[in-house]
Amino acid sequence: MATFYYKATNTSGKLETGQLEAGGKAQALAQLERKGLFPLSVTDKQNKSTEFNLQSFKVEDLLPINRISGKDVLDFTDKLATLLKSGLPLAKALALLIDTTSKEPLQDVIREVLKDVKAGNSFADSLAKHEKVFERLYVNMVRTGEAAGVLDQVLENVRNYLEARQNMRSYLVSAMIYPSILAFTGAGTVAVLVFFVLPRFQQVFDQVGQELPFITRLMVDATTFLSDYKWIILVLSLAAWFGFRHWKNSPEGALQWDVFKLKMPVLGNIFTQIEVNRFSNTLGILLNSSVSLLDAMSIAKEIANNRVFQRAMDPIIKGIKKGDGMSGPMTHTGVFPKMAVQLVTVGEETGTLGDMFIKIAGIYQSSLEKSIKRLLAMFEPVMILVMFVVVGMIVAAMLMAVTSLSTTSI
C-alpha cells in the first residue's frame, strides 16, 4: 500500500485536500469517486518527496515556452468526447482529464474551465475565456452541442475537424523535410568550398608570385568581399527582412502579399487549394453541427489565412442575408474554383450543404496532396541540377588554378 496526497472538489464545489492509502493511483481515484469527490490531482507521497523523478521529467520543461499546441487540444477533445460518450457527466470528465493530462499549462486551463462549469457557467462560455487555446469555431460548435443536448456528438465533429487540420499540417511539414535537407546540404557544401578551400589557392598563388586564372580570381574576389563586408551585409539583410515583415503586417501590404501568393506560378494553385480546403472543411463541420449558415460563414471568414478569401466572403454573407444563397455570390468573387461552386449549387438544391462541403474539402485535400507531390517531383531534380552547376563551377575554377600552377611549374 502507498500513501497518496490528493486535491479534489466535493459536490458543492469546495476544494478538499488530504491523503489516503491505496494499492495504486487507479485505486486512489476509485476511493475518491466513491466518497463523492471529483479528483483534481492525486500524487504518490514517495514521488512527491523526491527532488528528481525520471518518470516525471519531461524535456518540454526545459523549453523557454511550454505552450499548448494544436495536438494538445486535439488530444483533450478526443478524450473528452470518449468520456462523455461513455455516459460520464461533464464535470467529472473534466476532473479526470486534469489528472490524466501531462502538459501543465493545459491542466491549468482545464482546471479553470471546470471551476467555471461548477459555478454555473455553460461549457462554451467557460472555454471562451481561453481564446488562445480554444478558437471561436471550437466554442461555437460546443455552444450548439450544449443547446441541442448532443455535446458528445459535436465534440466528435470537432475532433474530426482538428484531426484533419493536424494531418494536413503534418503532411505539409513532412513534405518539406527532404527539400530542406537537400538545400541545407548544398548550401553547406558551397560554403565550405567558397570560404575555406578557394582562399587557400590565393595563398599558394601569392607565394609563387603568379596570378590566378580569371574565373578563379573572380570567385576569390567575391569570397573576399563577402568576408570583408559580412557585418554590413548581415545588417542590410536584417533591415530588409524586418522592413518586409513590417510591410507584410500592414493592412495594405498583407492584402498585396496574399494577392501575390495566389497569382504565383504553380504555388498559387496550391495556396488556393489550401484555402478552399480550410473554408469547406470549416463550413461542413459547422453546418453538420447545426450552426446556422450565417454564423458558419462568419467563423470561416475569421479563420481564413488569406485576406483575398476573407474579402471574398463579404458578398457571400450579404447574399445569404438577402436570401440569395451562396453559389451565386461565390461565382462573382472569382476566387473559388468552378467545381467547388457547382458542388455548392448541388448542395443548396438538395439540402445537403453540410455534407457537400465535407465532400469538397476531401476533394481539395486529395488534390492538394497530388499538387505537392508533383511540385516536389519537379523541385528535387531542379535543386540537384542547381547544386551540380554551382559546385561544378567552383570545382572547375579550382581545377583551372591547379592546371595553371602545374603549367607554370613545368
Q: Is the pLDDT of residue 75 over 70?
A: yes
Which pLDDT band, with edges at 50, 70 and 90, does 10 fall under?
A: low
Grid coordinates belonging to 84:
462523455
CA-nearest of 76, 282, 313, 72 to 165 is 282
* pLDDT for the residue numbered 404: 75
Q: Is the pLDDT of residue 240 over 60?
A: yes
Phi then psi for 203, rounded to 5 degrees?
-65, -45
CA-nearest of 166, 174, 379, 380 to 267 is 379
What three-state secondary structure class fits 184? helix
Give buried/exposed letters for 118-150 (b at 16+ CB in 10 A, else e). Answer: beeeebbbbbbebeebbbebbbbbbbbbbeeee
Please write the tens of the pLDDT for every residue from 319-328: 999 888 898 8
Q: Is the pLDDT of residue 389 over 90?
A: no
Alpha-carbon distance of 355 to 370, in angstroms, equals 23
Please tell me which residue, 241 or 67, carries the higher pLDDT value: 241
* pLDDT for the residue numbered 313: 93
Residue with cell 500500500: 1
Mean pLDDT calculated for residue range 132-145? 85
Mean pLDDT calculated for residue range 248-256? 90
* pLDDT for the residue numbered 288: 86
Residue type, 299: I
Phi then psi for 43, rounded to 5 degrees?
-125, 130
**Please, where are the H alpha helices in 289-352?**
293-303, 307-322, 327-333, 338-350
Do 310 and 266 form a contact (C-beta atoms < 8 A)? no
Grid coordinates belonging to 289:
453541427
Interhelix angle for 353-409 vs 338-350, to 10°?
160
The number of beta carbons lying within 10 Å of the beta carbon of residue 207 is: 8
* pTM (predicted TM-score): 0.66
Residue with cell 523557454: 64
The number of beta carbons lying within 10 Å of the beta carbon of residue 9 is: 18
Q: Is the pLDDT of residue 198 over 80?
A: no
Please tell me which residue, 214 or 257, carries the higher pLDDT value: 257
Please tell me which residue, 189 or 13, carries the higher pLDDT value: 189
Which pLDDT band, with edges at 50, 70 and 90, does 251 fall under?
A: confident
Grid coordinates belonging to 87:
455516459
What three-state secondary structure class fits 10? coil
Q: Is the pLDDT of residue 124 over 80?
A: yes
All structural domains of the chain, each given as residue ranges with its CATH number in brackets, are: 2-57 (3.10.20), 68-174 (1.20.81.30), 176-410 (no CATH)
Alpha-carbon distance of 80 to 112, in angstroms, equals 16
Grid coordinates belonging to 297:
460563414
